[in-house]
Chains A and B, each alone.
Chain A
Amino acid sequence: MDIGFFVTWFKDAAEQIRLRRDHLTELDAAIGDADHGVNLDRGFTEVCKALEDWPPTAPAQALLTAGTTLIRRVGGASGPLYGSAFRAMGKALQDPVTLPGFAAAFEAGVVAVQRLGKAAPGDKTMIDALAPASRALTAATQEGLTPYEAFHRAAVAAEEGSRATIPMRARKGRASYLGERSVGHEDPGAASSALILGALAGVAVKEATKEVD
């Protein structure tokens, strides 16, 4: 996993978020303030621009640039949350990047989100997608799976975690003001986390195909 891997991850995540922007905003319209898709689209577009304007010299730097850009450019809660996650990942990531190293850095990112947002699993937040993804990644690493298999499992875990937020009652964020009315809607933050993990699995497929070529 070199610098190019991480830059492609952010580009593909930006693309996924752009394509699903209206869907994320619809989810947020149900239980939030209907700006999640727009905010994240703008933030990840700025991330891609920042990575072009200041080409990173190490994978960790790509993560730090992305995190700082999201914190500065996204006006909603997802900016500080995703921004802190990527920055914590960047600070924890060792070069050269191995799968166990990535899994440990990802875990550090999830811990940073939990610490900043003070959310726990079951609160109907992005943690409900990120925490299972992190566990899947660590387990896959211990089983000695390839990056592609590990990232695929993490993406599936994030997707399942996101769907599992539908029956939950929100205890954090704007949705918590709705109380019972938040039940029955997928959490937009968990949904965008699943998209970002999906992009990660997609990049790993590209890398695996490249090796076969």
Chain B
Amino acid sequence: MVGIVLVSHSAGLAAETVALARSIAGADVPLAAAGGTADGGVGTSLDLVERAIRAADQGDGVLLIADLGSSVLTARLVTEPGRIVLADVPFVEGTIAAAVTAGAGAPLEQVLAAADEARGFRKLAD
């Protein structure tokens, strides 16, 4: 199953988004949170991101979803084409779409495509 790592400035935001995605997509989707700095502050930690990737990686690839600024920059540093990819999507919506698709056993490019679709999803359109 494709793993999903959430990179956020906030430990709470990353952890709660993982919990929300698990409640919708199922407990067996390998989701991992990398939020805040290693000492619990606001920011991004490469060590936490690498640890989360190891935790979520089952050999089928890992999708990274980042919130803002340094989260995006740090995530970009660890991408490996075809294996660890960064999605350019809204944090919550992209995570849910990716988690549901990963839970259905889809390969990495389909999980990324599902997350991408979430970017254009309108909440108030007719």
Which residues does A use to contact B, with CB under 8 Å?
A: 33, 35, 39, 71-72, 74-81, 84, 116-117, 173-174
Q: A80-B74, A116-B76 are in contact. Are A75 and B45 (CB under 8 A)?
A: yes
| Min C-beta distance of A90 to chain B, whole Å | 15
**Contact yes or no, A77 B76, CB < 8 A:** no
In the complex, besides A77-B70, A80-B76, 4 extra interface pairs with C-beta distance below 8 angstroms are: A71-B77, A72-B47, A78-B70, A174-B69
Q: Which residues of B contact A173 (CB under 8 A)?
A: 69
**Contact yes or no, B70 A75, CB < 8 A:** yes
Q: Report, as a range, how many residues of chain B touch the other chain.
A: 10 to 19
**Contact yes or no, B43 A75, CB < 8 A:** yes
Q: Which residues of A contact B113 (CB under 8 A)?
A: none
Q: Does residue B24 face the partner (Cβ distance < 8 Å to A)?
A: no
Q: Which residues of A contact B76 (CB under 8 A)?
A: 80, 116
Main secondary structure of the interface of A (DSSP, over half): helix
Q: Does residue B46 face the partner (Cβ distance < 8 Å to A)?
A: yes
Using CB atoms, name the residue of chain A closest to B74.
A80
**Contact yes or no, A75 B68, CB < 8 A:** no
| Min C-beta distance of A62 to chain B, whole Å | 20
Q: Tell me which of B43, B44, B73 contacts A117 (CB under 8 A).
A: B73
| Min C-beta distance of B91 to chain A, whole Å | 15
B window 28-42: CB within 8 A of A: 36-37, 41-42
**Contact yes or no, A84 B77, CB < 8 A:** yes
Q: Which residues of A contact B70 (CB under 8 A)?
A: 75-80
**Contact yes or no, B68 A174, CB < 8 A:** yes
- Residue among B36, B45, B46 with most chain A CB within 10 A: B46
Q: A33-B42, A39-B43 are in contact. Are A75 and B37 (CB under 8 A)?
A: yes
| Min C-beta distance of A119 to chain B, whole Å | 11
Q: Which residues of A contact B74 (CB under 8 A)?
A: 71, 79-80
A-B contact pairs, 23 of them (CB 8 A): A33-B42, A35-B42, A71-B74, A72-B46, A75-B36, A75-B37, A75-B43, A75-B44, A75-B70, A76-B43, A76-B69, A77-B69, A77-B73, A79-B44, A79-B70, A80-B46, A80-B74, A80-B77, A81-B73, A84-B77, A116-B76, A116-B77, A174-B68
B window 44-79: CB within 8 A of A: 44-47, 68-70, 73-74, 76-77
Using CB atoms, name the residue of chain A closest to B70.
A77
Closest CB pairs A-B (n = 8): A75-B43, A75-B37, A80-B73, A77-B70, A77-B69, A76-B70, A72-B46, A80-B74
Using CB atoms, name the residue of chain B closest to A78.
B70
Q: Which residues of B contact A77 (CB under 8 A)?
A: 69-70, 73
- Residue among A33, A35, A74, A117 with most chain B CB within 10 A: A74
Using CB atoms, name the residue of chain B closest to A177.
B68
